[in-house]
Amino acid sequence: MPTQLELVMNLMIRIFHQYSCKEGDRFKLDKGELKMLLQRELAIFLSCAKKTPQLVDTIMQDLDANKDNEVDFNEFVVMVAALTVAL
């Protein structure tokens, strides 16, 4: 039987792919997919953030380590870890 942490890790993978498979490369989030994920999955955590039209652009730039205008799973995990630490 999987541990709680293993269940959470599996859920993170499933949630990432739920959004990444909507357009283009199914292993990366484009800006639209990232915006949808943030709005639906992290609404409460991000409600404290300053609401600006550029919020998704700023998050995308911060996460997109390799500057390909997409967020891969490794970059996504960095965001989740950073938000977790910020709690």
What residues does each domain of the chain span? 4-86
pLDDT score at 29: 94
E strand or H helix at 72: strand 71-72
Q: Which residues of the chain have pLDDT under 50?
A: none
Residue 71, classed as helix, strand or coil, is: strand
Residue 66, classed as helix, strand or coil, is: coil
Contact residues for 15 (Cβ-Cβ < 8 A; gap 6+): 37, 41
The residue length of the chain stands at 87
pLDDT score at 55: 72
pLDDT score at 63: 78
The arrangement of secondary structure in 4-86, i.e. its CATH architecture, is Orthogonal Bundle (1.10)
